[in-house]
């Protein structure tokens, strides 16, 4: 999956080479590692995904032509299953939560509007924003229902999700890979 933190992109490996899932504890350590990383700077290309579709398409092509590293980075984001947006500022009040969920609030550079994304603030508030087509609404409704039922320990009426085989633990540095975008 892709993680955005302070507008910077990271590739987070969630499965080992055999397709086994890393544990919640291992992934939490990796996310904390990302949040704690400082000193990294770079262009916040995620802003471009909030532009009109044709403008974003043009910018996307320009970035690819500019540097082969950009092509690799954009491909990794496109191939990821989801983008996790780790906000640095809490969402304050109803208006703050709504603005963070709908258009990024004060952290619009920490969104990737061309992918399904889950946003999380430092207080643990969670929201989702996703590209929507005629066929995926039911899938997302089922996903939200399953997550809610799992958290609330409620039987959902669906067959339980299969248990995943857990991968051996790994250090955050093995799972987290900063992604680079070069603009000049």
Q: Which residues are the active-site residues?
A: 132
Q: Can you tell me the distance from the alpha carbon of 84 to that of 113, in angstroms, rounded to the nearest whole number? A: 12
**Backbone φ and ψ of 175, nearest 5°:** -100, -25
Residue with tokens 């890979």: 177
d(CA 11, CA 175): 8
Query: Are 105 and 99 contacting, i.e. CB atoms less than 8 angstroms apart?
Result: yes
Compute the C-alpha angle 160/165/168, nearest 5°.
145
Phi first, then psi: give them for residue 72, nearest 5 degrees: -65, -45
């Amino acid at each position: 999956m892709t993680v955005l933190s302070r507008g910077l992109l990271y590739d987070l490996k969630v499965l080992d080479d055999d397709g086994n899932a890393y544990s919640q504890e291992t992934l939490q350590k990796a996310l904390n590692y990302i949040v704690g990383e400082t000193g990294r700077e770079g262009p916040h290309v995620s802003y471009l995904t909030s532009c009109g579709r044709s403008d974003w398409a043009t910018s996307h092509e320009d970035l690819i032509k500019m540097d082969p590293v950009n092509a690799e980075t954009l491909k990794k984001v496109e191939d990821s299953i989801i983008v996790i947006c780790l906000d640095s500022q809490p969402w304050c009040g109803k208006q703050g939560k709504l603005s963070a969920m709908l258009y990024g609030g004060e952290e619009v550079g920490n969104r990737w509007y061309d992918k399904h994304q889950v946003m999380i603030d430092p207080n643990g508030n969670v929201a989702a924003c996703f590209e929507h087509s005629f066929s995926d609404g039911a899938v997302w409704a089922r996903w939200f229902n399953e997550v809610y039922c799992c958290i609330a320990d409620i039987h959902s009426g669906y067959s339980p999700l299969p248990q995943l085989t857990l991968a051996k633990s790994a250090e955050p540095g093995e799972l987290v890979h900063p992604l680079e975008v070069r603009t000049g």
